[in-house]
Structures are given as C-alpha cells and as structure tokens.
Chains A and B, each alone.
Chain A
Amino acid sequence: MIDWQPLWLSLRLAGITTIILLVLAIPLGYWLAHSRQRWKIAVEALVSLPMVLPPTVLGFYLLLAFSPSHAFGRFLDHYLNIRLVFTFPGLVIASLFYSLPFAAGPIIAGFRGLPPDLRAASRTLGKSDLTTLIRILLPNIRPSLITGAVMSFAHTIGEFGVVMMIGGSIPGQTRVASVAIYDEVQSIHYSLANHYAVLLLAFSFSILLLVYLVNHHFNQAKTIL
C-alpha cells in the first residue's frame, strides 16, 4: 500500500520554499539587474553557486552550520530553542539555498530584458520605485515570474542529496518522496519505489509542460495583443 505522506511532504516543502523564494528573489533580482555596484558580480556568482555545487557539499556545510556542536547551531539551540538538523524547518532553509538560482535566474533575466527607459519613463511621471516595480516592471516580466516559481518548485521536489545530509529520513518530518524511493529500493521494495518514481516522473513532466505552455502563450500574446 502506497504511503502518501512522503509525496505530501514533498509538495509542502516545495510550496513553502517557492513562496519564500519568490518574495526573496524579486528584490534580489531587481537589485542585481539595476545596481551599478561592482561587487554585485560576486553576489550573482554566489546566487548561482548551488546550481553547480554537488548537493552533498551544500548539505555538508549546512549540516555543520545547523549542528548544535557548532557556533551557529548552538546559538539557535540555546537562545532560540530552534533545532534545524533533521527537522522540516531545516529542510525548508536548505531548500531555499538549493533552489535559489532557479527562482532568481529567470527573474534577473526578466528585469534585464526590459527596456531601461520603462523605469525612467515611470520616474518622469512622478512614480516611486516601488510603484514602478509593482505597476510596471512585475506585470511585464510575468512569464519570468511564472518560470522562476515553477522551476524552483520542481527543483525542490527533486531534491535528494541535501535532504540526505541534513534531513535524514524521518517519516512526516523529512522523509520526502525522493528519499522514500531510495529507502524502498534499499529494502528491495521495487514496486513501491516504482509507485513513487512514476508519480514524480509524471509530475516533473507536467510541470515542464506547463512552463513551456505558459511561455508559448505569452510569446503569442505579445504578437497579438
């Protein structure tokens, strides 16, 4: 009998991660696209780093940081009574790092792709940067926002290495679908593993199909509207 909990946990993790990432990636992308400070290049490289880093490396350092036997983890444990190793909140924080480039990348590209005079035009009309962002810039990069959201959602669903390092496989807490597949295979429950795997496969494909459909729709809308 298939246990739905790992799938539900995966969706919950991905949903929460995506919402937080969107909130973070919009100001970050705006700053990276418009700032003229030189050290922003270093920030941009850092943002993209999780894309090329083996997830186990990321997970390893997060494990060290979160561990109560090290300074940061001890501080959280002693003063705030927060434990991030082998917990769901810890997974969320790890996923934020892990999927950040997938949310920020399309949004940065979206901001950069807009004609610079749009922002200038809004300013000459007496509008603040915040009004300009909400009324002009964001509506015009909607496809980038959707792509960023869908990609970070899908990428979080597929997270495995990082979860193994800092989450383990605690049912209801950290045993997400990708980890459940690994566990079932370890216990030679190939058919159960297959159930999870097929669902993840179908899900991933649907997500990508949706992204391409949305982009296709917007490209067409651009020429028609």
Chain B
Amino acid sequence: MLHTARGLQRLEIAFHWQQGRLLAIYGPSGAGKTTLLRILAGLTETESGYIEVDGEVWLDSTRRINLATRHRSIGFVFQDFALFPNLTVRQQLEFALPDRHNKAIVPELLTLMELEELQHRRPALLSGGQQQRVALARAIARRPRLLLLDEPLSALDDEMRYKLQEYILMAHRHYRLTTIFVSHHLPEVFRLADEAILLEKGRIGGQGTPATLFAEEKNGHTLTITGEIVSIVPTGDGFIINVNCAGAIIPVAATAAAAAEWQPGQPVKLLSTIIAPKILPISTS
C-alpha cells in the first residue's frame, strides 16, 4: 500500500526488463514510481512480490526470500543525492567500493564525470549539478548489475538537466549498465530511455518505446512528431519555438509563459490535429 496525498493506494505491478537497456518509469507524482524503485533496492517492504535479476532471486514472498539491500548489486541515485557530508568526493567513491577492491575505477570515474578538480571537496561546497555527478559516480563505482535513478534531475534547472542527461547516457553506455530511472518529465524520457513504463495510480498503463507509448491518439486524426528545439525567437507579442523534426524546421507559436518552459536542445513532441488533408501526386511542377 502506498501512502499518497490522496490516501492509501494499492501498488500492483509486474514487468520485465532487458539487460543493458535504459528503462524509464514515467508517471504523475503519487503514482508509485519512487516506491517501485525503493522496492527494487530493498529499501521498502512489500506485502508480496517476486524480483529476479540475472537469475538471482532478490525477493520471493512465497518462499520468504528478501535479500537485504546491501546484498543486492545495485547503484542508487537518490532524489536529494544523499551524499555523505563528512567525506570528500574521492572518499565517497572509495567508500562505495567493496573491501580490498581494486581502486583503479576511482580516478577513471573522476575523469569521466569531470570531477578531478573537485575530488578533495566535501559535498557542501558543490553545486547541485556537481553533487548529481558525484552521486552518479558513487552509484556506478561498484559496477552494479542494476543502476537505479530516482528523479535524479528534478532538483536542477533545464540547462543543467540537459547536460547531466549526457553524463547519464555516457555512463550507461560506457559501463554497459542496466539502468532504471524514474521521471515525471516527458522530454527526459524521450531523450534517455530505450523503453518506458507508464505508471498510473499504482498500475502499469503501458510499456514500450517512448515514441509508441506516448503517441496520444492512434486513430489517425492527430499527428505526433518528435523533434528537438533548435531556437526560441521572440516576436512582437509572443515567441516562435523552432523545432527540428527529422531535418525540417517547424515553427510553433507560443506565449511568453509557454516559451519560458522550454530550452533549446530539449527533445519535444509536436501534436497536431489533421484537418481534411488532400492527397496530391508528387510532381515536379
């Protein structure tokens, strides 16, 4: 049972994920996204359930198996990063390694995440984006089977968000991780995920690639195109947002308030109603 703002809610979920992929769990707040992630990590208990990772059973309530968090091979990036205030950046990464483990990955991660110059600082002296990179590096350091990210970018502004998505993608590919991340930000899901799960009121509303899952209507009356914002240009009484869709730049009119929500470089989805289209033969004239 979930305790949400709207009272108790049942969380009932079953899904499979493939190794090496980047899976997004998307849904409104209160849908149970974070709870689901914490159950995978063993940080939240369930009434009943079954979790198997790479043939290893982590949870099986019928056989009373519930592997303790510390025995699950996971990396977890918390929403508020949960960095240890008493340790420097380098010490956080070293702490993450198992005892007597080869420490070679520490300098490697510091370089990859561009943290070398900050390695002797404590978290209180780091910006939000820097803390996020440390949290990510710390979660990866022990080379977990499963990397879990709990809305890791929600505390950051859009520009920083975009940059850090790069780091997540880079780390995911470089270390061939299996990654599950929670988000309520659709452009992020489009940009990062191979596959997405829509979570609504404690149930799965769909699973598939972001493009198929989030195509609003499938009966042909609307057209959904995905693209990336290239520029936001002010006009006299509003803004024009230019979106690059597979090479074609499509201008979209927007009010100042609407334009303020977007940043160049963001992946977006254009939704348009098709009103009585005419079909013409392709000719040169």
Q: What residues make up the interface of A, taking CB atoms closer than 8 Å to B?
A: 115, 117-118, 120-128, 135-136, 139-140, 222-223, 225
CA distance A139 to B87 in the complex (A): 9
- Ranked nearest first, the 3 interchain pairs of A and B with the lowest CB-CB distance are A117-B82, A121-B82, A124-B76
Q: Which residues of the other chain, A, contact B68 by a CB distance below 8 angstroms? A: 123
Q: Chain A interface mostly helix, strand, loop or mixed?
A: helix
Once A120-B82, A121-B84, A126-B71 are accepted as A-B contacts, the answer to whether A135 and B95 lie under 8 Å apart by CB is: yes
Chain B residue total in the interface (Cβ 8 A): 28
Q: Which residues of the other chain, A, contact B162 by a CB distance below 8 angstroms? A: none
Q: Which residue of B lies closest to A138 (CB)?
A: B86
Q: Is B125 an interface residue (CB 8 A)?
A: yes
Q: Which residue of A lies closest to B74 (CB)?
A: A124
Interchain Cβ contacts under 8 Å between A and B, 29 examples: A115-B80, A117-B80, A118-B84, A120-B41, A120-B43, A121-B76, A121-B82, A121-B84, A123-B42, A123-B43, A124-B43, A124-B69, A124-B70, A124-B72, A124-B139, A125-B70, A125-B96, A125-B138, A125-B142, A127-B70, A135-B95, A136-B95, A139-B86, A140-B85, A140-B86, A222-B124, A223-B124, A225-B122, A225-B124
CA distance A128 to B68 in the complex (A): 10
Q: Is B27 an interface residue (CB 8 A)?
A: no
Interface residues of B in 72-95 (CB under 8 A from A): 72, 74-76, 78, 80, 82-87, 95
A134 CB to nearest chain B CB (Å): 11
Q: Is B55 an interface residue (CB 8 A)?
A: no
CA distance A222 to B125 in the complex (A): 10
Q: Which residue of B lies closest to A121 (CB)?
A: B82
Q: Which residues of the other chain, B, contact A122 by a CB distance below 8 angstroms? A: 84
Q: Which residue of B lies closest to A135 (CB)?
A: B95
Q: Which residues of the other chain, B, contact A121 by a CB distance below 8 angstroms? A: 76, 78, 82-84
CA distance A121 to B74 in the complex (A): 11
Q: Is B236 an interface residue (CB 8 A)?
A: no
Q: Is B98 an interface residue (CB 8 A)?
A: yes
A126–B124 CB distance below 8 A: no
Q: Which residues of the other chain, A, contact B95 by a CB distance below 8 angstroms? A: 125, 127, 135-136
A124–B86 CB distance below 8 A: no
B84–A140 CB distance below 8 A: yes
CA distance A222 to B122 in the complex (A): 10
Q: Which residue of A lies closest to B141 (CB)?
A: A125
B257 CB to nearest chain A CB (Å): 34
CA distance A75 to B224 in the complex (A): 85
CA distance A124 to B98 in the complex (A): 12
B59 CB to nearest chain A CB (Å): 15
Q: Which residue of A lies closest to B73 (CB)?
A: A126
Once A123-B43, A124-B69, A225-B125 are accepted as A-B contacts, the answer to whether A136 and B86 lie under 8 Å apart by CB is: yes
Known contacts A126-B71, A126-B98, then 6 further A-B pairs from the complex at CB < 8 Å, ordered by chain A residue:
A120-B82, A124-B43, A124-B139, A136-B84, A136-B87, A223-B124
CA distance A225 to B71 in the complex (A): 33
CA distance A117 to B30 in the complex (A): 19
B82–A118 CB distance below 8 A: yes
CA distance A208 to B96 in the complex (A): 39
Q: Which residues of the other chain, B, contact A136 by a CB distance below 8 angstroms? A: 84, 86-87, 95
CA distance A146 to B141 in the complex (A): 34
Q: Which of A115, A124, A127, A136 has the most CB of B within 10 A?
A: A124
B142–A126 CB distance below 8 A: yes
Q: Which residues of the other chain, A, contact B72 by a CB distance below 8 angstroms? A: 124
Interface residues of B in 31-51 (CB under 8 A from A): 41-43
CA distance A115 to B84 in the complex (A): 10
Once A125-B138, A126-B70, A140-B85 are accepted as A-B contacts, the answer to whether A120 and B125 lie under 8 Å apart by CB is: no
Q: Which residues of the other chain, B, contact A120 by a CB distance below 8 angstroms? A: 41, 43, 69, 76, 78, 82
Once A115-B80, A117-B78, A121-B78 are accepted as A-B contacts, the answer to whether A128 and B86 lie under 8 Å apart by CB is: no
Q: Which of B42, B71, B76, B84 has the most CB of A within 10 A?
A: B84
Q: Which residues of the other chain, B, contact A126 by a CB distance below 8 angstroms? A: 70-71, 98, 142
Q: Which residue of B lies closest to A225 (CB)?
A: B122
CA distance A115 to B43 in the complex (A): 15
Q: Which residue of B lies closest to A117 (CB)?
A: B82
CA distance A136 to B76 in the complex (A): 17
CA distance A136 to B91 in the complex (A): 11
CA distance A159 to B39 in the complex (A): 50
CA distance A186 to B59 in the complex (A): 72
